[in-house]
Structure 1
Amino acid sequence: MKILTSQQIRYVDAETIKREAISSLELMKRASTAFYNWFIEKYSNKSTSVLIFSGVGNNGGDGLFIARLLHKSGYSVKVCIVEYKNQYSEDCAHNFRRAKAENISIIKIYNEDQIPDICKYDVVIDGIFGTGLSRDVTGIAESVIGKINESGAKVISIDVPSGLFLERKTTFAVKATETVTFQIPKLALFLPENNLFTGNVTIIDIGLNEQAISESDSNIYFTEKSEISKLIKPLNLFAHKGTVGHALIVGGSLGKCGSVCLASRAALKTGCGLVTAYMPKCGVQVIQINFPEAMAIEDRGERYISNIDFEIKPDAIGIGVGMGQNEETKKALHDFLINNKVPLVIDADGINILSSNHNWIELLKPDTILTPHPGELSRLVGGWSDDYDKIQKTRLFAQKYNLIIVVKGAYTLIIDSENIYMNSTGTPALATAGSGDVLTGIITSLLAQGYNPIDSAKVGVYIHGMTADFTTKSINPRSFVASDIIENIGNAYNNLEKIR
């Protein structure tokens, strides 16, 4: 699913009206009805009192149309029109006239004294500004948004929280509990810095013209279940352990050998036929007791890796988990990178070592996958001023070295030299020790099974997130641990293969 800019969204809206021979008012009706259907499913009790803040543009028109639909269905609705200017859009003016004729309670707000007591209402719907906002919020709109945010009320924003910029940093906007956005994902809704404003985000279909969307150029995508499902390779009836990939996991040091155990288990659970762990001597007994399905190769170092040397021929390698940054380990990694020709995933201390030895990055083969958390990313690409700057710096880094960077976090980003893919699965349950080690094992396994690197990253991140989605009711997110990810990988596969 493409993520588009505000200008592209306006184009798609206009083309939908043109190509489907409908009025702008009809498109507004589609959007408002879709929001209404979502709302009544979530708030089916018609005694729910609703306060709607509408602007004077088309987002305000949506708010007024939604007010009409809710009023007609028996909800208690009050509308406040925020008069930040005295010129209404044509469709907003139409819905204002219709709402008045239908005896909906409406007040116009020119100054702060006219703002009602927000706390008296069960739900607030925010429809002041939409995606076209291009300047900082001031005047009465600023006062209203401030009052909404101070109220602590449950707030649902129509399309985007009022005040949120789509293409640059936002410092002041409605702090929505939920945002119900119209069909096209907006990058700003999924950035960490904007979570304070967006709350939970739901995408609803409003019948925009699919051809117009497909014609809009974008290199930013929101990954969907249907897309990932199509990427899953079928399992051949005559497959055996020697035909579905051999993954090598390199890492571990004294006190950190569990990370290799987690990555190795995840690799095997994700479907490769063979997994070998390469560890310092202190880790071999640990993994063979903890995970007997794995084979193990002992490094000559007792407490840390000092010389990465093996005779096996793996199909993919994951390196860095729990590895530490001993000087001998750094040299071992350098020597390994000089000679490596195998598809590679680098995580944790592997990334940290590269960050302090930038000239070694040129040793990486094209499409090597790096999986940094935010701290590791900042050491790798440098600090950033905001999320947009972070994305830009990561894109330039990926382009310079022809790498794939998996920026871990909520809505994990997968950035290669051409595109950005935003993951749609996962919950805060994944913020747990070992979660990244498991992801390394999953992606390495997919590489070993013959997935190309970008698909390995996309599928791996999606499956990793799905395991948390599945367990929201059975495991409290606070109690979720990395082993729970591994145990639910099979459930993720079952779910993805159902929709083929």
Structure 2
Amino acid sequence: MKILTSEQIRHIDAETISRQGIPSLELMKRAARAFYNRFVELFPDKNTSVLIVAGMGNNGGDGLVVARLLHQSGYRVKAFIVEYGTKYSEDCAHNVRRVKAENISNAKIVTEADIPDMSAYEVVVDGIFGTGLSREPAGIAAEVIRRINASGKPVLSIDVPSGLFLDRKTSFAVHALETVTFQIPKLALFLPDNHHFTGNVSIVNIGLDESAIAEAETDIFFEEKKCIRGLLKPLSKFAHKGTEGHALIVGGSLGKTGAVCLATKAALRTGCGLVTAFVPKCSTLALQSNFPEAMAIEDKTDNYISDIAFDLHPDAIGIGIGMGKHEETQLALHRFLQKNSTPLVVDADGLNILSMHPEWIELLPPKSILTPHPKELSRLIGEWRDDFEKIDKTRQFARQHDVIVVVKGAYSLVIDAETLHVNSTGTPALATAGSGDVLTGMITSLLAQGYKPIDAARVGVFLHGLTADITEKSIYPRSFIASHIIENIGNAYFDMEKSNGLL
């Protein structure tokens, strides 16, 4: 699913109206109907009192159509129009007249004295500003937003929270419980800095012209199940362990054997035919007793890795998990990188060592996959002022070094030299020790199975998040641990195949 700019979205709106031969009011009705349907899912009690706060533009027009739909359904509705300027959009003005004609309780907000007591309402619908906002809200509009945020009421925002910028940092906007956005995802809705504005994000279809969307050019995408499903390789009836890839997991140190165990088990559960772990001597017994399906190679040193030497030819290598930063380990990684050409996934201490020796990054094979958490990322690319700068610096880093960077978070980003993919799966349950180790094993496994590096990263991140999604009602998020991810990788594959009608 494409993520587009506000200018592109406006163009697609116009093309939809033109190509489908509909009036702009019809598109507004579609948007309002889609929002209304989501509202009713969340608040089915028709006795709910609803405050609609609309602006003077088309987003306000959407809000007024929502007011009409809710009123017609029996909800107790009052609409307030914030007059922050001198001119209404034509479609908004039309719906102001319709609201009055249908005897829906309404009023204008021109001064602070006009702002209603929000404690009298159970839900607030925010339709003040849309995607075209170019400057921070001021005057009466800003005061209304402040009152909404101070009300403590659940707020549903139409398309975007009022005040949210799509292309730069937002300092002041409505704090929504949920944002119901119209068909085309907006990058700003999925960034950590904006979570307290956006709340939960749901995407609803409003019948925009598919050919117009197809024509829009972008390098930013929102991952959908159907897209990831299309990347999955079929499993041949004549498959055997030698045809399904051999992954090597390199890591571990005294006290951190668990990380290697998790990554190794995840690699095999993700579909790899063979998995070998290269570990210090202190890790071998724990690894083999915890996971007998894996093979093990011992480093010559007891408690840390000192020389990454092995006599096998894996299809992909995951390195850095629980490895520590001992001086001999750093030198061992350097020697390994100097001679290695096997597809590579680098995580944890592998990334920390690279940040200590940035010149070694040039030794990575092209399209190597790096999987940093935020602090590890900052050590690689430097600090950032906001999420937009973080993305810009990460994209520059990926282009400069020809690598793929997985920026882990609530909506993990997969970034290479050409594209940015926003992952849609996962819950806070994944915020648990070992979750990243499992992800490294999964991506390494997919890479070993012959997936292109960018696809291995995209599929691995999606499946990783999907394990949390499908267990959300069976495992309480606070009780979810990394082993649950591994246990549910197969169920995630099942979920993908069921949605494709294969099961």
Normalising TM by the smaller chain, what interval?
over 0.9
List runs of 5+ in structure 2 lacking aligned partners: none
State the 1:499 CA deviation: 2.9
Q: For structure 1, which segment, 242-251 or 113-122, has the greater mean C-alpha deviation from structure 2 after superposition?
A: 113-122
Cα distance in 1, alignment partners of residues 184 and 387 from structure 2: 20
For residues 148-297 of structure 1, the aligned pairs below 5 Å read: 148-297=148-297
What is the letter of the counterpart of residue 163 of structure 2? Answer: G
Cα distance in 2, alignment partners of residues 412 and 40 from structure 1: 30
Cα distance in 2, alignment partners of residues 420 and 330 from structure 1: 31
The size of the alignment, in residue pairs, is 500
Q: For structure 1, which segment, 52-61 or 116-125, has the greater mean C-alpha deviation from structure 2 after superposition?
A: 116-125
Cα distance in 2, alignment partners of residues 236 and 218 from structure 1: 35
State the 1:196 CA deviation: 0.6
Cα distance in 1, alignment partners of residues 345 and 484 from structure 2: 22
TM-score by length of 1: 0.99
State the 1:39 CA deviation: 1.4
Q: Are 2:100 and 1:100 aligned?
A: yes
For residues 413-428 of structure 1, the aligned pairs below 5 Å read: 413-428=413-428
What is the letter of the counterpart of residue 25 of structure 1? Answer: L
Cα distance in 1, alignment partners of residues 53 and 143 from structure 2: 12
Aligned to 2:315: 315
State the 1:214 CA deviation: 1.0
For residues 64-463 of structure 1, the aligned pairs below 5 Å read: 64-463=64-463
Instruction: Find the residue that maps to 1:350 and give its secondary structure.
Output: helix
Q: For structure 1, which segment, 177-186 or 42-51, has the greater mean C-alpha deviation from structure 2 after superposition?
A: 42-51
Cα distance in 2, alignment partners of residues 86 and 155 from structure 1: 27
State the 1:312 CA deviation: 1.1
Q: Deviations over 1:468-496 (max 9, x none)?
A: 10111111111110000000100100111
State the 1:41 CA deviation: 2.4
Q: Deviations over 1:204-250 (max 9, x none)?
A: 00000111111111000000000001111111101111110111000
Q: For structure 1, which segment, 42-51 or 160-169, has the greater mean C-alpha deviation from structure 2 after superposition?
A: 42-51
Cα distance in 1, alignment partners of residues 286 and 119 from structure 2: 57
Instruction: Find the residue that maps to 2:414 and give its secondary structure.
Output: strand
Instruction: Find the residue that maps to 2:81 and give its secondary structure.
Output: strand
Q: For structure 1, which segment, 385-394 or 108-117, has the greater mean C-alpha deviation from structure 2 after superposition?
A: 108-117
State the 1:122 CA deviation: 1.3
State the 1:115 CA deviation: 1.2
Q: Deviations over 1:305-342 (max 9, x none)?
A: 00000001111100000000001000000000111111
Which aligned segments of 4 or more residues in structure 1 are displaced greater than 3 angstroms?
Answer: none
What is the letter of the counterpart of residue 35 of structure 1? Answer: F
Cα distance in 1, alignment partners of residues 240 and 415 from structure 2: 33
Cα distance in 2, alignment partners of residues 397 and 80 from structure 1: 48
Q: Deviations over 1:382-415 (max 9, x none)?
A: 1101000000000000000100000000100000
What is the letter of the counterpart of residue 474 of structure 1? Answer: S
State the 1:8 CA deviation: 0.6
| Percent identity between the two aligned chains | 68
Instruction: Find the residue that maps to 2:321 and give its secondary structure.
Output: coil
What is the letter of the counterpart of residue 104 of structure 1? Answer: I
Q: Are 2:477 and 1:477 aligned?
A: yes
Aligned to 1:468: 468
What is the letter of the counterpart of residue 346 of structure 2? Answer: I
State the 1:181 CA deviation: 0.1
Instruction: Find the residue that maps to 1:320 and give its secondary structure.
Output: strand
Cα distance in 1, alignment partners of residues 188 and 38 from structure 2: 22
State the 1:45 CA deviation: 1.1
What is the letter of the counterpart of residue 241 of structure 2? Answer: K
Alpha carbon RMSD of aligned pairs, Å?
0.6
State the 1:119 CA deviation: 1.9
Cα distance in 2, alignment partners of residues 120 and 444 from structure 1: 55
What is the letter of the counterpart of residue 420 of structure 2? Answer: I
